[in-house]
Each structure stands twice: as structure tokens, then as C-alpha cells.
Amino acid sequence: MMDLLQAIRERRSVRKFTDEAVSEEHLLTILEAGRWAPSGLNNQPWRFVVIEQEAIRKSVAEKTKYRKVLEAAPLQVAVFLDGEASYNRDKDLQGVGACLQNMQLAAHSLGLGTVWMGEILNRREEVEALLKVPETYELMAVLAVGHPAGTVKDASREPLSELVFRQYS
Ligand SMILES: Cc1cc2nc3c(=O)[nH]c(=O)nc-3n(C[C@H](O)[C@H](O)[C@H](O)COP(=O)(O)O)c2cc1C
């Protein structure tokens, strides 16, 4: 397993995958990393639906304009916010974001690739119906997971000088 800072720096969104399945062990490691995310009052508002069956993966993929990316991944993890566990929407959204990031970093440290699919939220209710989740579950993202194929698109970040302001008394 790689160093945490290295994983944070080197993780990139992966949108092309080989056909190789994600092992059960790796799937559980990714879900565990999500489960251990911080949350306000430790309310752990995230819920996961693991989608492995090809027919269901395809149906989910049809709900986003990035259909090809989702179809290519051998595994999808739909991440939900459970309204029943929710106590403060802003904080709960932050917690689910931390959960998703943990999962991405865990997958990367295992040599797997992921992409956080947010565009699918445009058809959130259709995905919720398709996956037959309880009414209190609200889709937050679908994480596509698999073994990276080909070259991964590079990404850049704004320099710290544009982001950080220091306060002097
Ligand atoms: C909230 C959120 C929503 C995103 N939605 C999508 C998406 O719908 N499709 C996609 O291809 N990538 C999506 N991404 C991935 C971003 O495009 C990607 O993280 C960003 O371009 C930086 O690239 P990197 O992840 O390789 O560092 C999303 C990421 C986040 C955090």
C-alpha cells in the first residue's frame, strides 16, 4: 500500500477500465475506507449499493451522459445520503463527500481506478427507483471502480498562492 500523501497527490479520475473484475477483498477494503470517514456527530449518514451485475450496471449507465464510462467499469458503487440518519444537511453532505474521497483513495492505493460520477444526479430519482432503495435514500454519486486501462488523463490544480490568504494582525 502506498503512502497517504502520495495517494492524495497521484490519484486521478480513471475513465477507462480493463474487463478484470474487482475482487471481493478489494471491494470490502474500499467500503471500509468509506465507512471510516468522519461525519458530524458521527452520524455516518452514508449508505452504499454495490452494483456488479452487468444488466443493472448498464441500466444505471443509461442515466448519465457519461454512459460509456460507467458501462466500462466492472463495478459501480452508488452512494446515498440516508435522510433518516441526517441531522444537518450541510454537514451530512460534507460527510458523504469525505466518504467518497476515502473510497477513491483506498481504491487508488490498491492499484484500482475510480471516477466520481456526479452528472447522474440529474436523473437521481430514476436511479433511486431502478435500484429500489428506501424512500429516505438520496443518491449522492455513483463511483465507477475498476482496473485502469490505457493512459490516465492528467489534471492540474490552482497554485496555493491563489487559494490561501494569511491573516496578519
Ligand atoms: C462532486 C464531483 C462530481 C463529479 N462528477 C463527474 C462526472 O459526472 N463525470 C466525470 O467524468 N467526472 C466527474 N468528476 C470527476 C472530476 O471531473 C475530477 O475529479 C476533476 O476533473 C479533477 O480530476 P482528477 O480527479 O483526475 O484529479 C466529479 C468529481 C466530483 C468531486
Q: What does the domain layout of the chain look like in residue ranges? A: 15-153
What pLDDT is recorded for position 1?
63
Residues 99-146 have pLDDT tens digits of: 999 999 999 999 999 999 999 999 999 999 999 999 999 999 999 999
Mean pLDDT of the residues in the chain: 96
Residues 41-52 have pLDDT tens digits of: 999 999 999 999
Fold of the domain spanning 15-153 = NADH Oxidase (3.40.109)
Buried b (16+ CB within 10 A) or exposed e, 33-59: bbeebebeeeebbbbbbebeeeeebee
Using CA positions, which residue lies closest to atom 28 of ligand 1? Answer: 116
155 lines ligand 1 (CB under 6 A): yes
Out of 64, 114, 115, mutate this one to test ligand 1's pocket (max ligand atoms within 8 Å of CB): namely 115
What pLDDT is recorded for position 169?
76
Q: Which residues pair with 45 in a beta bridge?
A: none
What pLDDT is recorded for position 168?
82
Could you tell me which of 21, 82, 5, 97 has the C-alpha nearest to residue 48? 82
